[in-house]
A = this chain, B = another copy of it.
Amino acid sequence: MIDGFSVHAVRGIPDVQPGDDLAKLIVGAAPWLADGDILVVTSKIVSKSEGALASVPVGGPEREAAREQVLRSQTARAVATRGHTRIVQTHHGFVMASAGIDNSNVDRSQLVLLPVDPDASARALREALRERYGLDVAVIVSDTMGRPWRNGLTDVALGCAGIEPLRDHRGETDPYGNELQITQMAVVDELAAAAELVKGKVDRVPVAVVRGLLTSTRDSGGVVPTLVRDAEHDLFSLGTAEAREQGRAEALGQA
């Protein structure tokens, strides 16, 4: 009736273990998958299937010390610290609380790390679905992040394959002949956000499918080379000491 797209929860994926075959688990839970679908996969199950885990003591000060060491291993640069929470830049370039390390939906003796190369993870899943199931889909690996200046978290893309991360409006003009000020939309982040709306945190819905938006998939640059802002590019300062304090305070707000 109306042009648009739909977002569907994929239920029935079992608890993922290291070595598990994600393509098989997903096709098993979503036998209705079709060409042109966009698969949004929570990074946690990608990490678990890839064994991106760290073993830690289940409690006590030993747990804290081990966690601290794991955090250090995942950190390229500290951005801000608030109490126990660190906002850091990971080796991929993502700026996240605790480097994206997570202890939910996993046994207490383990911490889930981010996938080592989420774009490669997305490509591998896309390839597996193409080669073994004849499915031509795009894949987004997503995770939950805070942002400065706003409360609440949203899901964003850590990796993608088969879809361009950005939609570029450069050179377009509106019906009044004005050149567009807004040039590049982070489409894969918007897709990750849309998918989160059906992916409960405790309901074991780690995958959602977006249908009706892509006319065809295409190989593309991944998230890390495209969406992660080059820190060097940002590293100049023109403002007041007060503004610098504020910028830092805002980063802290991410916790």
A binding-site residues for B, Cβ under 8 Å: 1-11, 15, 30, 32, 77-82, 89, 94-95, 102-108, 144, 147-156, 165-166, 169, 172-182, 184-187, 189-191, 193-194, 196-198, 201-202, 204, 208-209, 213, 226-229, 231, 233-239, 243-253
Q: Which residues of B contact A213 (CB under 8 A)?
A: 197-198
Flag if B233 contacts A204 (CB, 8 Å). no
Chain copies in complex: 2
**Set of chain B residues within 8 Å of A156, measured between Cβ atoms:** 150
Known: A154-B185, A250-B95. A78 touches B243 (CB 8 A): yes
Interface majority SS on A: helix, strand, loop or mixed? mixed
Pairs A–B under 8 Å by Cβ, sample size 19: A1-B32, A4-B8, A5-B6, A5-B7, A79-B247, A80-B238, A94-B149, A144-B182, A144-B185, A147-B147, A151-B229, A152-B187, A154-B190, A190-B193, A229-B250, A234-B250, A244-B247, A244-B248, A250-B251
CB pair B174–A152 under 8 Å, yes or no, is no
Least Cβ distance of A192 to chain B in Å? 8
Q: Do A104 and B174 have beta carbons less than 8 Å apart?
A: yes
| Cβ–Cβ contact A175 & B105, under 8 A | yes
For A201, give its contact among B30, B148, B169, B229 (CB under 8 Å).
B169
6 nearest A-B residue pairs (beta carbon): A152-B186, A247-B248, A247-B247, A194-B194, A4-B8, A193-B193
Q: Are A248 and B239 in contact (CB under 8 A)?
A: yes
Kindly list chain B residues whose C-beta atoms are within 8 Å of the C-beta of A231. Answer: 246, 249
Do residues B234 and A249 form an inter-chain contact, with CB atoms below 8 A? yes
Structural contact, A182 and B198, CB atoms closer than 8 A: no
Partner among B8, B102, B189, B208 whose Cβ is within 8 Å of the Cβ of A154:
B189
B190–A196 touching, CB < 8 Å: yes
Which residues of B lie under 8 Å from residue A208 when comparing CB positions? 4
Q: Determine how close the nearest CB of chain B comes to the CB of A230; give it in whole angstroms.
A: 9
